[in-house]
Structure 1
Amino acid sequence: MTAETTPLFHVWTVSEVKAGTLTQCLGVARFIDPEPHVITVRRKVSWRNPPFSPLRDLASRRPPDIIISCGGKAHSHTILLARLCRKRPLTVHLAKPLPAYEDRYDLAFISRHDWMAGRHDRPNFHPVVGVPHRIDPEEITARRSEARARYAVCERPVATLLAGGPNRVYLYDESTIDRLLTAVRALAGDGWRVLICTSRRSPSSLQQTLAALADDRIVVWDCVGENPFRDYLAAADALIVTKDSITMTCEALATGKPVYSFDLAHGRENAHLEKFERFHADMSDSLGLTRRFEGSLAPYAYEPPLESRRIAAIVQRIALQTRANGKGEVTR
């Protein structure tokens, strides 16, 4: 879609303030509407609170043809927005909707690791490999030559480490951090040039500890200026991603290069830990897309998933069918 092309459909995205939920929405929306209207929310709609201010956007903006949402707090806002539109938009959720909303979305795209945890036999529910995101193989290919010229010095192969941060299921305890540092030093000693990029969730203590590794063989982004994340992906011959980030794992797979998952200490055994472990088992054991990091970065081949494109194509097809019906009826 070129900048001069008028999109067939105008998209609004409704997501939680978490970067991961917005990334999923924009990853799909950009293939339908290059300039979607973005709404982020912190809490559910409640009539005890002041009116939901983005609803006022309906009076001043082109109303949505499609609403793409992600995150549990986005449900109530999405359904209310759809109800208040003069012409009903297609509603799409990028996860398993909460039980109270399962019948209120036209389409839902559910990650395989969530799909395996329950029955999803509704015709408007679709399984997805991992999660959608905004990194595309074509972009990585276009960036690779320049990124390699900058980072692949002295003919060293490049290993990119994407580090997240502790969450409710994974810990960055002293032992885990020691293993991470040891792995980086070992790769550098084996001839790799290691590029390290932290995320928004990375604690400052982890950033500082990793930064202390920097030398001519190890490059650590200092969190100042433009994030080199995309160039680090494009330059890589192999990647390591800490297990706390599902999104970064899926983004790394857009490179087509080997992606290794770095294990972390476990917090409390709960459903969230089971979900993450189910995701990693599916990506490695079932699909052969990733492998567990055990010290080496041996090459292997796979076809990068194109889930953002695939989801967008399904959404646009259903939206076209609905428009053809002319009655706001969804053909699934």
Structure 2
Amino acid sequence: MQGVILTEGYAGLEAQALGLAERAGLVVAGTRALRPTLPWGRLPPRFWPAPLAMVGGADGDGLRDLPDGLLLTAGGTGAAVGAVLRRQGRRVVQIQNPRMRLDRFDLVVANRHDEIDGPNVLLGRTALHRVTPAVLAEARAAWTERLAHLPRPLVAVLVGGSNGRFRMGPPEAEALAAGLAGMMRTDRVGLALTPSRRTGAEQRAILERALQPLGGWVWDLAGANPYLGLLACADAIVVTSDSVSMVSEAAATSVPVLVAHLPGRSRRIGLFLRDLVDAGRIRSFNGRFESWNAAPLDDTDAVAAEMCRRLGLPVTCEAGRPAPSH
């Protein structure tokens, strides 16, 4: 069956939708970035009077040529548009809490920490993503030699940045750099670090100054993105606490995951991290290398399999435990 993805155009949302489609065996027939016209972008999408017109031109003309297939919508804008298209007869699976009535969709795929409930809700502990064992094996083959100059055990560091809930300015970058440098000196580990688009040039420079003289490798944003290679080749992973997606992708590997907590507050992310701590999958980073027997934790397959069962589609993905609902 075909799947059509409608998101706000953010890479993270599209990756979640692609991850669900791929695990469910859907052929992605198209993706659309829903860009609201002014002034509607300043108003939460659930309050838009005519969502199709807000993103598709007059009367929603820009969405009339959508390919046939299951619609996978993600984020608030996707939800507003998807709810209208379902009233017009399309089958719609909404990814993330739509912040509107849940019965406007065939299924809603969200996380436990979203704290929503309903007969058409599928919940997972981790964010949907594309980091499968096959993807990791391919990345390992591509990056093992490139990282061979670094000492073992090798610690991969995934760094996010400030957002609406957490702060990572220069002082926070200094504190993280000090903890990582201390680990390198005390535990004699190799280190490879990749910043994100949110990390900031000043923060990246702070990390480089602290870690490169000790033999650490910090990606300079030039050339091939090492993110998957670091996940695949690491003996342990340190990841900042600001991103559910990064922590979820790290947890899909088979190595210990240590979370570097940033100043800030988020009930949702706090619940998410507590769930993974309770599962024994993550621990807090306290400036030391830690190793324990770790198994991948990834609910994407289970959610995709349950979605297929609910919608009467062939279950082509590897079925894990049943995805919990209400």
TM-score, scaled to structure 1: 0.81
Contact 2:107 2:121 (C-alpha < 8 Å) held by counterparts: yes
For residues 253 and 247 of structure 2, the distance between their equivalents in structure 1, rounded to whole angstroms, comes to 11
Contact 2:7 2:73 (C-alpha < 8 Å) held by counterparts: yes
* Deviation of the 1:58 alpha carbon: 5.8
Q: Which residue of 2 aligns with 1:109?
A: 109
Percent sequence identity is: 25
**Unpaired segments of 5 or more residues in structure 1?**
1-8, 323-331
- Structure 1 residues 36, 242: CA separation in 2 closer, same or farther (over 3 Å shift)? farther
Asked if 1:169 corresponds to 2:165, the answer is: yes
For residues 301 and 62 of structure 2, the distance between their equivalents in structure 1, rounded to whole angstroms, comes to 28
Q: Which residue of 2 aligns with 1:308?
A: 300
* Deviation of the 1:141 alpha carbon: 2.9
Secondary structure class of the residue paired with 2:76: coil
Q: Which residue of 2 aligns with 1:209?
A: 206
For residues 301 and 36 of structure 1, the distance between their equivalents in structure 2, rounded to whole angstroms, comes to 40
Q: Which amino acid aligns with 1:177?
A: A
Q: Which residue of 2 aligns with 1:41?
A: 34
Instruction: Give the number of equivalent residue pairs.
Output: 300
Q: Which residue of 2 aligns with 1:259?
A: 257
Give 1:44-55 correspondences, 5 Å limit: 44=45, 46-47=49-50, 52-53=55-56
Asked if 1:63 corresponds to 2:68, the answer is: yes
Secondary structure class of the residue paired with 2:98: coil
For residues 155 and 75 of structure 1, the distance between their equivalents in structure 2, rounded to whole angstroms, comes to 47
Secondary structure class of the residue paired with 1:314: helix
* Deviation of the 1:14 alpha carbon: 1.5
**Unpaired segments of 5 or more residues in structure 2?**
37-44, 315-325
Q: Which residue of 1 aligns with 2:92?
A: 91
Secondary structure class of the residue paired with 2:252: helix
Contact 1:112 1:128 (C-alpha < 8 Å) held by counterparts: yes
Contact 1:259 1:291 (C-alpha < 8 Å) held by counterparts: yes
- Structure 1 residues 62, 170: CA separation in 2 closer, same or farther (over 3 Å shift)? closer
* Deviation of the 1:188 alpha carbon: 2.5
For residues 200 and 50 of structure 2, the distance between their equivalents in structure 1, rounded to whole angstroms, comes to 36
Contact 1:258 1:301 (C-alpha < 8 Å) held by counterparts: yes
- Structure 1 residues 195, 36: CA separation in 2 closer, same or farther (over 3 Å shift)? farther
* Residues 208-256 of structure 1: per-residue CA shift (max 9 Å, x gap): 2223332472111111122111111111000000001110000111211
* Deviation of the 1:138 alpha carbon: 2.6
Q: Which amino acid aligns with 1:89?
A: R
For residues 235 and 74 of structure 2, the distance between their equivalents in structure 1, rounded to whole angstroms, comes to 32
Contact 1:187 1:194 (C-alpha < 8 Å) held by counterparts: no
Q: Which amino acid aligns with 1:109?
A: V
Q: Which residue of 2 aligns with 1:282?
A: 275
Asked if 1:244 corresponds to 2:242, the answer is: yes
For residues 19 and 295 of structure 1, the distance between their equivalents in structure 2, rounded to whole angstroms, comes to 31
* Deviation of the 1:292 alpha carbon: 0.5
Give 1:175-186 correspondences, 5 Å limit: 175-186=171-182
Asked if 1:80 corresponds to 2:84, the answer is: yes
* Deviation of the 1:139 alpha carbon: 1.8
Q: Which residue of 2 aligns with 1:326?
A: none
Q: Which residue of 2 aligns with 1:317?
A: 309
Contact 2:128 2:299 (C-alpha < 8 Å) held by counterparts: yes
- Structure 1 residues 320, 48: CA separation in 2 closer, same or farther (over 3 Å shift)? closer
For residues 51 and 182 of structure 1, the distance between their equivalents in structure 2, rounded to whole angstroms, comes to 47
